[in-house]
């Protein structure tokens, strides 16, 4: 079905400011909008959500009141204009405006609301601080870019609903926002109740509910879900965000992957080109070894190279020390034409970041114009070995190689971080490595099911969440050596950002209880309702959640996810427009049996 959008139904305008063309010449129209610009009492540009129209201000005596009204109205005032559509005088057409062939000669006008002095100009090219933009978000929303972002978001979500509900029989179910604490995972927001000492939690995802819907026989569930995480001050994260949440019964990993590929292909905006399916796939171990991260940006090369075998034969002490460790390795990345683009301070900064973030030493190797190497290693390598090293690293003149030796995961993570930082430096110098108009989707699979806890490496935590099923081939290891178990978890990565994650779930109560109690050492009582549900004939099931905010921000190449959310929170999780969170009085807290214990400095500030 092809629908023709009628933007003028139910309202008193005849047309929008973006739709008038030469075919409308001679028609009498009524437009409503904001004054974008006014010039010397001769004409003004009227703007609404769809575009711009030039309005000619009448100069004759009979319309003097219209002239006075429109000439004196401040920019961004809301007006109604009625007039006749006319062709622009020859030579005065504006090819950059869709309505540039016509203008409207005003006959009557009304100022519906005058605008006071603005805190900033409503123009995309005007630089304004993000704090100011968020304080006056309702003004910022008038900008072309934010209007485009939010309308595109709406369009994509509508297409996703069509694909899931109309074509594939999914049921759109709203799940509760007030629930209880979930073990593991991100920190949750607490909501006090009127029962002393009892609190609700805002769910970080509808995970348990969607599994319970499968136990309830709904077969296919979908929701545009609001989720909440109390993650504090994390860049480009929001305390409340939106997921496209999906769960299916009787499905395997391949089925979920094909569904998501079809969903994205169906909802993908035409103006962003086509996306090719199926998406390539890579194991977690391959991603770490080649890119140093579980969310590789595959738009550019500079992959990590393993030169352990080549250097194993050398007499270099630090190399031999590194290789003597379990999973010891020597790896490198090659920065093409690095000599031309990396200054000494850049190299020092890269090495310092590897040291501070990963406690990893980095050595640079430079290929001189005569083909020789500039490096501390050269005194340990003969001429033949140097030539072999150049071949092993595939080095060209003026390339710079960053080399790291040590434990496999740390070396890979450090080089993966340096690969992205080097790309930033090369792009700042004018090279295009990561074209934002190119979209590289990638499935990352075979994650470990458990990881050692950072604060106590002898204890394990879920790599994703405790409901993820083990890989069928590794089920027996769950009971003998859980650290070696791979999971049936899968992440969807787009241009180096994780845009989705899901898994096949544990549907056996016995296995779920074992994971919670014996492996994770969690109190399974908190999840007694889910464990009991799994005992009542739970079907095999699995699902996924797509991060809608992140996905849309990548599609429109927004600098931040805040640019695709109508009313986002600041970096510190504050609403700068409404000044939330805010204080409440002791009287308001009383029904919840809560008293605030004020830090002294804050108490004094409040009293003053």
pLDDT tens for residues 25-52? 999 999 999 999 999 999 999 999 999 9
Q: Determine which of 125-139, 189-203, 352-366 has the lowest per-residue pLDDT on average.
A: 125-139
Cβ-contact 471, 488 below 8 angstroms: yes
Distances in whole angstroms, Cα of residue 356 to Cα of each of 231, 359, 404, 528: 23, 6, 14, 43
Question: What are the boundaries of each domain within the chain?
Answer: 22-113, 147-282+440-563, 300-429
Overall average pLDDT of the 243-271 stretch: 98
Q: What is the pLDDT of residue 600?
A: 61
Q: What is the pLDDT of residue 233?
A: 63
pLDDT tens for residues 465-503? 999 999 999 999 999 999 999 999 999 999 999 999 999
pLDDT tens for residues 319-331? 888 898 889 999 9
User: Can you tell me the distance from the alpha carbon of 404 to that of 411, in angstroms, rounded to the nearest whole number?
Assistant: 6
pLDDT tens for residues 268-311? 999 999 999 999 999 999 999 999 999 999 999 999 999 998 88
What number of CA atoms fall less than 13 Å from residue 255's CA on the CB side? 15
Average pLDDT, the chain: 94
Q: Which long-range contacts (CB under 8 A, 24 or more apart) does 260-267 make?
A: 260/492, 260/500, 260/544, 260/546, 261/441, 262/163, 263/160, 263/163, 263/164, 264/441, 266/159, 266/160, 266/162, 266/163, 266/167, 267/156, 267/157, 267/159, 267/160, 267/163
Q: Give me the percent of the chain exceeding a pLDDT of 70.
A: 97
Q: What is the pLDDT of residue 544?
A: 98
Q: Give me the percent of the chain exceeding a pLDDT of 90.
A: 84
522 by Cβ neighbours in 10 Å (0-12 / 13-18 / 19+) ranks as middle
Cβ-contact 548, 243 below 8 angstroms: yes
Q: Which H helix or E strand runs over 497?
A: strand 497-504
Q: What is the pLDDT of residue 427?
A: 95
CATH code for the domain defined by 22-113: 2.40.50.140
pLDDT tens for residues 200-235? 999 999 999 999 999 999 999 999 999 999 986 676
User: Between 597 and 261, whose confidence is greater?
Assistant: 261
Distances in whole angstroms, Cα of residue 254 to Cα of each of 243, 260, 281, 407, 542: 21, 10, 11, 33, 11
- Nearest to residue 431, comparing CAs of 337, 332, 353? 337
User: Can you tell me the distance from the alpha carbon of 414 to that of 291, in angstroms, rounded to the nearest whole number?
Assistant: 10
pLDDT tens for residues 390-449? 988 999 999 999 999 999 999 999 999 999 999 999 999 999 999 989 999 999 999 999
> Confidence band (pLDDT; 50, 70, 90) for 182?
confident
pLDDT tens for residues 84-130? 999 999 999 999 999 999 999 999 999 999 999 999 998 877 788 99
604 pLDDT above the threshold of 60: no
The residue assigned the tokens 């190689």 is 401
The residue assigned the tokens 């993820």 is 468
Overall average pLDDT of the 595-602 stretch: 76
User: Between 75 and 605, whose confidence is greater?
Assistant: 75
User: Can you tell me the distance from the alpha carbon of 198 to that of 190, in angstroms, rounded to the nearest whole number?
Assistant: 10
Q: What is the pLDDT of residue 154?
A: 98
Per the structure block, which two tokens stand in for 241?
A: 């965000």
185 pLDDT above the threshold of 70: no
User: Between 4 and 117, whose confidence is greater?
Assistant: 117
Q: What is the pLDDT of residue 602?
A: 62
pLDDT tens for residues 541-563? 999 999 999 999 999 999 999 99
CATH code for the domain defined by 147-282+440-563: 3.30.930.10
Strand partners, 38: 44
Per the structure block, which two tokens stand in for 1?
A: 């079905």
Cβ-contact 32, 104 below 8 angstroms: no
The CATH number of domain 300-429, selected from 3.40.50.2000, 3.30.1360.30, 1.10.340.30, 3.20.20.150:
3.30.1360.30
């Amino acid at each position: 079905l092809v629908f023709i959008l009628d933007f003028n139904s139910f309202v008193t305008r005849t047309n929008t400011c973006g739709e008038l063309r030469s075919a409308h010449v001679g028609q009498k129209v009524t437009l409503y909008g904001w004054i974008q610009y006014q010039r010397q009492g001769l004409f003004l540009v009227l703007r609404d959500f769809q575009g711009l129209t030039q309005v000619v201000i009448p100069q004759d005596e009979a319309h003097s009141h219209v002239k006075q009204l429109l000439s004196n109205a401040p920019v961004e005032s809301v007006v109604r204009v009625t007039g006749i559509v006319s062709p622009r005088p020859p030579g005065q057409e504006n090819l950059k405006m869709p309505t540039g062939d016509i203008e409207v000669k005003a006959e009557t006008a009304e100022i519906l609301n005058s605008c006071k002095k603005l805190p900033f100009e409503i123009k995309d090219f005007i630089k304004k601080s993000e704090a100011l933009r968020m304080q006056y978000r309702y003004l910022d929303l008038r900008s072309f870019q934010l209007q485009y972002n939010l309308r595109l978001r709406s369009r994509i979500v509508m297409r996703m609903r069509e694909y899931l509900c109309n074509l594939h029989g999914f049921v759109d179910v709203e799940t509760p926002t007030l629930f209880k604490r979930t073990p593991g995972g991100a920190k949750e927001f607490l909501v006090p109740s009127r029962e002393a000492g009892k609190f609700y939690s805002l769910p970080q995802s509808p995970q348990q509910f969607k599994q319970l819907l499968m136990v309830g026989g709904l077969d296919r569930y979908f929701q545009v879900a609001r989720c909440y995480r109390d993650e504090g001050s994390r860049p480009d994260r929001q305390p409340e965000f939106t997921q496209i949440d999906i769960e299916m019964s009787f499905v395997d990993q391949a089925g979920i992957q094909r569904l998501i590929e079809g969903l994205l292909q169906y909802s993908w905006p035409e103006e962003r080109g086509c996306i090719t399916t199926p998406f390539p796939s890579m194991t977690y171990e391959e991603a770490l070894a080649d890119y140093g991260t579980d969310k590789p940006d595959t738009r550019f090369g500079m992959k990590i190279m393993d030169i352990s075998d080549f250097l194993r034969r050398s007499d270099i002490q630090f190399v031999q020390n590194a290789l003597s460790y379990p999973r010891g390795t020597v790896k490198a990345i090659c920065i093409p034409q690095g000599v031309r683009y990396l200054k000494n301070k850049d190299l020092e900064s890269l090495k310092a970041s590897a040291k501070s973030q990963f406690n990893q030493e980095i050595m640079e190797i430079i290929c001189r114009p005569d083909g020789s190497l500039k490096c501390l290693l050269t005194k340990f390598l003969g001429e033949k070995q140097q030539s072999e090293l150049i071949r092993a690293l595939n080095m060209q003149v003026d390339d710079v190689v960053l080399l790291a030796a040590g434990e496999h995961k740390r070396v890979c993570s450090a080089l993966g971080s340096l690969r992205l930082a080097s790309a930033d430096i090369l792009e700042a110098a004018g090279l295009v490595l990561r074209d934002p108009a190119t979209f590289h989707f990638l499935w990352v699979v075979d994650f470990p099911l458990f990881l050692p806890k950072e604060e106590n490496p002898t204890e394990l935590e879920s790599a994703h969440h405790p409901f993820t099923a083990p890989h069928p081939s590794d089920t027996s290891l769950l009971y003998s050596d859980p650290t070696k178990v791979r999971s049936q978890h899968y992440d969807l990565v787009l241009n180096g950002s994780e845009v989705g994650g899901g898994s096949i779930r544990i549907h056996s109560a016995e296995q779920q209880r074992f994971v919670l109690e014996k492996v994770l050492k969690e109190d399974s009582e908190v999840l007694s309702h889910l464990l009991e549900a799994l005992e009542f004939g739970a079907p095999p099931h699995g699902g996924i959640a797509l991060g809608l905010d992140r996905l849309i921000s990548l599609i429109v190449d927004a600098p931040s996810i805040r640019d695709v959310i109508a009313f986002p929170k600041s970096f510190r999780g504050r609403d700068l427009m409404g000044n939330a969170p805010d204080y409440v009085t002791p009287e308001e807290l009383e029904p919840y049996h809560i008293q605030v214990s004020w830090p002294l400095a804050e108490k004094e500030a409040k009293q003053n």
